[in-house]
Chain A
Amino acid sequence: MGQFHFLAFFCTALLLSSVIHAQPVPSMVEKYQGKAAPGTKSGKVINQLGEPVPDVTVANMRTGISTYTNSKGLFYFKVLNQNTVLLLYGDHIRTDSFRVRHVRDILIRVEEKIVPNVPQVIINTGYQQFRKNRNAGSDFSVNQEQFQQRVAINAVHRLESIVPGLLLTPKTPYLNQPSWFSVGARTSMLNPNPLIVVDHFPLQGNLININPDDILDISVLRDASALSLWGSRAASGVVIIKTRSSQYIDRFRVSFNTSISLAARPALFTTGRMSAADHIIFDTTVFRSKYFDQLLRFPTRPPLSQVVEALYKHLPDAQRLAFLDSLASLDNRHDLKKYFYRPSLRQHYFIQMEGGSKAYNYYISTGYDRIHPEWQLSREERTTALFKFNTKFRALEISTSVSLAQHLQKNMNGVPESMLPYQMLLDNNNMEVAMPYKYRYSYIDTAGKGRLLDWRYYPLREFRLRNHLVTENDYRYNLALKWDAGKIVPGLMMNAYFQHQAARNQLKEVQDEQSFFTRDLVNSYSQLQPGTVLQPIPEGDIAERYKTKYASTNMRLQFSYSKKWSNKLLVLMAGKDRIVNEEMYSRERIYDYNEASGKGQTDVNDTTLYPMYYFQGLRLAIPSPQLSRSLYHTYASAYLNAFFRWREKYDLTASARQERSNLFARRINNQFSPLMSVGVAWQLSSERFYHSNWLPFVRLSATYGSTGNPPYDAFAWRTISYSGKNDNGDPYAFLTNPTQNTLRWERVRNLNLGVNLRTVNDRVELSLNWYRKSSRYLVGYNDLDPTLGTDLTGNVAALSSRNFDIVIESKNVLRQFSWRTSFMMSIMQEKITYTDDTLLAAWKYCDPNYFTTVKGKPLYGLFSFPFKGLDQHGDPLGEKGTQYIDMIMARGSSSLTYHGRATPPIFGSITNDFNFKQWNLSITVSYKLNYYFRRQSINYYDLYQGVPAGSADFSRRWQQPGDEKTTTVPSIPVSVEPDHNRDIFYNFSSVLVEKADHLRLQNIHLSYDLEGRALKKGRLRLANIYLNCSNPGIIWRANKWGIDPDQLSGYRQPVLYTIGFRGTFK
């Protein structure tokens, strides 16, 4: 790919240099260039500065007919009478009305709002742009205003409750990237994410590297024809992101946006964790059962808690009780609050400059975000820059852009090991407190007789020594050529696109010399010899580096031809697409690392075995995880698309795409079978027989097509994976995949029906969309009979889904005070129609770590063991009493209770926008209904294993006969051998399943547009101050435990308050 890359650069450089010489003088006067048919009336819309305003909806209040202004601010009406009132609105202007005095020179001055200054009614298929509702299918264009009213730095997070059918799951508190997000019903098990397309091509890097302020518009495509056009990776929808650029008009603008967000220290006391006193009760009870006695005999000397150690010491009763009482009164959350956490702060700065003339335009922007999250010593930074240059020479338009981004995450990987509640960080003398960890104190205090390194674990020191840095550098270069070949063949256009994307991601974690990790490793390998200590692992920092490199080269050549007859329009499009994606991973560990020089010891002897100091029977080599791996995916596709419109009423589209990829091995069936689609639309309201005064616009559409997902994680051929050297020094390999001649790629068939209705003057706009998707040959993991010796990732299931979306946009009041409401609701229903499920053990259907498929049930169903109360010993009862092993190992899901879905089948949002003079208030409420979650409760097996965080449910446990009438929390199992199955049964039992339905106040945004003097003073053309409140909290929830079903563990996320200021200079 190297030479293409160079070539593209060379060509651009050539072109740019010629542009500079050939730059024409921009004309100062825009001429009315009547493209409209003779006899039409035209008008022009300008802003405060006399500049033309494109994409304003101009509605004739008398006839109900509306039109849009073009890029020159011009609009045309066939009929326009004097004294007609025109209503002008658009997301980028303040709504206004205008009475036509003279039909000749209509010049309307409107007040342009600064954000967003983009046309939101454009649907971008990535190949073509359509005005909303002008293509056959159903699609959704993101409301830019709402998008810009969010403050998340990742565009995906801003889309939540703005796009119908979009779900982010699950929310990971400290990551800025959801683990997956889906648009509409799931069609695939392994690959739920929609395809994200940025400026013509699929995004290979990370979406966070695109500054939301640089985004011009986002379209979400879900209809069959659009998906078929995007090919095999589009089955889960396509999100088309178009970045901003300037226009071919004479202007120069500098705009900025800056904001500061604050959130309080996390409310640590909202976690339902087990108290210090309860931990003491647990340890004391278990101590009596002699369980800990066997731990004393373990050769690896596992640690015991302070409580258990105290119980083993032969102390007088009074002294022991006094010690335990002193522990019971402790709560380390006070320390954590002080030394681990802090209020969080985010800063956002963005500045853009755009300008142009008739012949060229440019856009330059840069943004900087800095986040101080709730943990001390952590930070996140993002710097973005975007340069764009577009120019026209007669029939040829050349567009280039370069996008650069750097994203840093310092210590964003969370806090170290969890602690018991009585584990404080500092003692009364402000000295670091150690905690029992990995080995017993009685062992490490004497081990090595003082010749080894300190072997204790200090939680505060570990926290402060964290040195974890993720650096991501992202780069995109784009070249697009658009050649209007109309002079040769009328209606012929040729487009060529080239893009190169590269991202480098490096994770570097340095384990300080003083950290437990390093001290433990050095000590474990140490050998005491007379007079000396042999240390095969050197004392010094240990660094681990993971590097990932992505590179993606994309090329597309596209011809389009359009022909217009009196009442017919034909648009044909054909193209070829080529994508080469490469990913390279490497991992290395460096001993005795020097941060300043970035060097250390990488070539360690990894074949000699050393006895472990803490257990001489164990011999290990020096760990030296070096790894490198590369992925190579390539696609070559060809596509055809035809659009035919007749009498402005009937639309017909058809598309076909053929795709080849190295992901579909030669052996995979139907590699070459094309993806096809057809679509029809009928503008019923344009029919002569249609007469309705209140409903002047009715449009019906239907699309049908097929798409697919390549079987990313499944391979048709037998593969092996090398894994290093064996004990005799020879390379060895694992078999990773059996030959499966029957493997196919996932096939999805889509049917989509849509209705679009508008009342007079677009006061109420309603769109209803119904989708049916059936997926076959879903790729998933299959447990096979162990006798076969292998697992299999192959085609295991089929799925059918229905999805119904309602979007209502209503302009309730449109005067000086305006009130708009947008309502969205998605109803989803999907079920497995076929499965190869081999009837697993019942508990696997409950455990979310297993992807199980049950015929007739959704992909994520919630199953549980029927709970029948507690017995007189406090043991939980099921269908078979206390025969836990029989219940959890029963085959299949038939013995389980099915509650419902674990993801919401009904969800959506209501946004109300209020506008009065310069004031604007927007309130978004989201809702998720009719689904279930599993509440976390006490897991005694984990407590036995020393997992510190217990549940507060412990305090409600069964304690004495009779309690079974009032509680459902089982008793402490007192046994030398704790029964894991009892905990599996209880934690997956029906008593812990709760309704997850809730109503959430998602976002509140208040803004004020500056006017008059204030603007003048700041030499500003437009300016706006805003206040934002993100995720203020849940308004209503179905569960009575106060649990946020979107966040099942940890503390409640603090509310984020933002104040910001944006404007455009004169």
Chain B
Amino acid sequence: MYKKPVNRLTILPVALLMLSIACTKQAALERVPDSSLDLLNSIEDVQALLDNMIVMRETPALPEISADNFYIVDSGQFYPVERNAYLWQREIFEDNAPVEDWNQPYKQVYYANSVLDALPDLLADKPQLISQLRGAALFIRSYAFYNLVLQFANLYDVTSAGGPGIPLRLTADPFEQIRRATLGATYDQITNDLKEAAHLLPAMPDPLRKNRPSAPAAYALLARVYLSMRDYAGALLYADSSLSLYTKLLDYNSIDTSVIDPFSRNNEEVLYQSNLYSGATMLHSGNCYIDSLLYRSYAAADLRKQLFFTIDNTGHPISKYSYSGYNFPFSGLAVDEVLLIRAECKARLQDAAGALEDLVTLLKSRWKNGAYTPPPVNTPAEVLALVLMERRKELIFRGLRWADIRRLNKGNASITLQRKYRQQLYTLPPNDPRYVFPIPPDVIAFNNDIEQNPR
């Protein structure tokens, strides 16, 4: 046998293969296995989480369902939870559906906490942007906590501060132990975080992105929180801070009254965009009828009568699309609410003239040009009554009425709610324990030491 050159050639591929196998790059072994996953390690990633409007824009609907702005005639098409909340039942979470009024805000809290966890690890080359993102996360968490505490705990005052508040989840750890903080601690957390957020956030809202928080929005939320705490000096201070930064109102005279969706979602009056839970079908435009007395209280020259409502084919007044731009109601922050808070606080703090001035500013933009003249009121008490009535009419379907009823009943308003449904009369007396919703049963089941609300 003679020797062939082939033999030497065969060594070549073998050697190459050996080489290729030996060179295993460490980088490949650390690559994220799925391109649809990112590690939340850039400013863009954090911003994209905060821009998730599907998660962030939803706020609880139960308070609006339980309040007195509307009525329904047939509950057949609604979820049992909605029907039970509407009729102020003792048990409301009877079916196996998840309780979005609890779950959704806590999902927002989890997103905010994940952002707060991730921020310190980001490159510090844009410190201002990072501090704005921190402000946004604190705002979102406080907004969620506040929406939760209004549903699942007593209203804050000095005597109830030691009572149970809500679980204050401050980390993104999936194994965190959950327990209820005191009401005082809950409100402290909310107000302190919001004050920090207001310093970090941009001074003006982004006119095209009302889903992103701003300093005037943080101050407006602080004003809303202090108002519900009946700390009128605090509410006045922060309403004033908000209005000193941003005070644009829509002129309703320039808005088309003939369409079902007269308002765009980024209109200039909006400070922060959110809506009542979009899955709560009872609140969708057309599914419920506006309280007839309330509807009749809008004057003919009041443009809100045509912009907020329309008449359906059965002759009942129903709501149009609100500042949310959709058929579910707006629940965010807007300049009109801040003006009304400032007016109310001024009136309560005996500044009748100042209160009236704010009210007239608002209403002139709501009525037909030149049609509005303020009624002859002088005393702070008279102005307050007027402000409260306009508050109800301006902020209808924003989920604010329930907290207002509770707050006013703590004074001497004694508002008793009544509903007639299928030949049966339902009543909710002032300060009834049913003003606090029960903690969802699955939360209790997961945590034996979570205290249930009496109802």
Contacts and interface: CB of A to CB of B under 8 A. Distances in A.
B172 A739 contact: yes
Contacts of A294: 74, 76-77
B76 A557 contact: no
A14 B8 CA distance: 12
Contacts of A105: none
B445 A735 contact: no
B37 interface: yes
Given A298-B77, A719-B39, A788 B110 contact: yes
Contact of A18 (B9, B34, B44): B9
Contact of B20 (A555, A662, A736, A888): A555
A494 interface: yes
A28 interface: no
Contacts of B374: none
Contacts of B48: 720, 722, 730-733
A789 B443 CA distance: 12
Contacts of B35: 628-632
Interface string A661-675: 111011000000000
Contacts of A616: 260
Contacts of B74: 294, 297
B249 interface: no
B53 interface: yes
A4 B24 CA distance: 13
B184 interface: no
Contact of B38 (A496, A556, A629, A733): A733
A494 B209 CA distance: 65
B51 A731 contact: yes
B95 A636 contact: no
A99 to B, nearest CB: 42
Contact of A396 (B10, B108, B113): B10
14 contacts: A298-B77, A631-B35, A722-B38, A726-B52, A728-B210, A732-B54, A785-B178, A787-B102, A787-B169, A787-B443, A788-B174, A841-B96, A888-B96, A977-B75
Interface of A: 4, 7-8, 11, 14-15, 18, 22, 291, 294, 297-299, 393-394, 396, 398, 479, 481, 483, 494, 496, 498, 555-557, 576, 578, 580, 616-619, 628-634, 636, 660-663, 665-666, 715, 717-723, 726-740, 784-790, 792, 794, 838-839, 841, 843, 885, 888-889, 891, 976-977, 981
Given A661-B29, A839-B445, A735 B96 contact: no
B145 to A, nearest CB: 12
Given A717-B39, A732-B48, A629 B34 contact: yes
B203 interface: no
B208 A662 contact: no
B447 interface: yes
B124 interface: no
A662 B34 CA distance: 10
A748 to B, nearest CB: 21
Interface string B283-299: 01110000000000000
Contacts of A841: 96
Interface stretch (B11-19, B185-193, B401-409, B429-437): B11-19
A394 B31 CA distance: 43
A660 B38 contact: no
Most-contacted residue by chain B among A619, A666, A794 (CB, 10 A): A619
Given A15-B10, A666-B30, A732-B52, A789 B285 contact: no
B260 A617 contact: yes
Interface of B: 4, 6-7, 9-10, 12-14, 16-18, 20-22, 24, 28-40, 44-45, 47-49, 51-55, 74-77, 94-96, 98-99, 102-103, 106-111, 113-114, 117-118, 167, 169, 172-174, 176, 178, 208-211, 260-261, 265-266, 284-286, 326-327, 440-443, 445-447
A673 to B, nearest CB: 16
A727 B57 CA distance: 11
A891 B445 CA distance: 8
A420 B339 CA distance: 60
A721 B209 contact: no
A843 B24 CA distance: 50
A776 to B, nearest CB: 18
Contacts of B4: 22, 393
A733 B55 CA distance: 10
Contact of B286 (A617, A726, A735): A617
B407 to A, nearest CB: 26
B33 A633 contact: yes
Nearest to B73: A297
Nearest to A636: B24
B96 A15 contact: no
B176 to A, nearest CB: 7
B51 A735 contact: no
Interface centre among A291, A396, A794 (most CB of B within 10 A): A396
A483 B10 CA distance: 9
Nearest to B166: A787
B143 to A, nearest CB: 14
B21 A14 contact: no
Nearest to B48: A733
Given A632-B33, A636-B24, A789-B106, A617 B285 contact: yes
Given A15-B10, A297-B77, A630-B34, 16 more contacts: A14-B13, A294-B76, A555-B17, A555-B21, A580-B28, A715-B37, A720-B40, A728-B53, A730-B47, A732-B53, A738-B174, A739-B173, A786-B443, A789-B169, A790-B107, A792-B174
A929 B12 CA distance: 58
4 tightest Cβ-Cβ pairs between the two chains A and B = A789-B110, A11-B13, A785-B446, A733-B48
Nearest to B314: A297
A360 to B, nearest CB: 13
A721 B44 CA distance: 12
A144 B7 CA distance: 38
Given A631-B35, A731-B48, A731-B51, A718 B102 contact: no
Contact of B36 (A22, A629, A784): A629
B195 to A, nearest CB: 24
Given A720-B49, A733-B48, A481 B36 contact: no
Given A557-B18, A738-B174, A11 B12 contact: yes
Contact of B51 (A4, A297, A730, A785): A730
B38 A720 contact: yes
Contact of B6 (A11, A393, A618, A977): A393
Contacts of A481: 10, 13-14, 17
A483 B8 CA distance: 12
Nearest to B74: A294
Given A660-B29, A720-B48, A785-B446, A496 B18 contact: yes
A64 B187 CA distance: 90
Contacts of A556: 21
Contacts of A632: 31-35
A291 B98 CA distance: 26
Contacts of B24: 578, 636
Contact of B96 (A393, A557, A843): A843
Contacts of A393: 4, 6-7, 10
A394 B7 CA distance: 8
B20 to A, nearest CB: 5
A398 B208 CA distance: 66
A663 B33 contact: yes
B9 A726 contact: no
A18 B102 CA distance: 74
Given A726-B52, A788-B176, A557 B38 contact: no
B45 A662 contact: no
B364 to A, nearest CB: 30
Contacts of A794: 174
B444 to A, nearest CB: 10
Nearest to A14: B9
A618 B278 CA distance: 13
Contact of A738 (B54, B75, B173): B173
A570 to B, nearest CB: 24
A717 B24 CA distance: 23
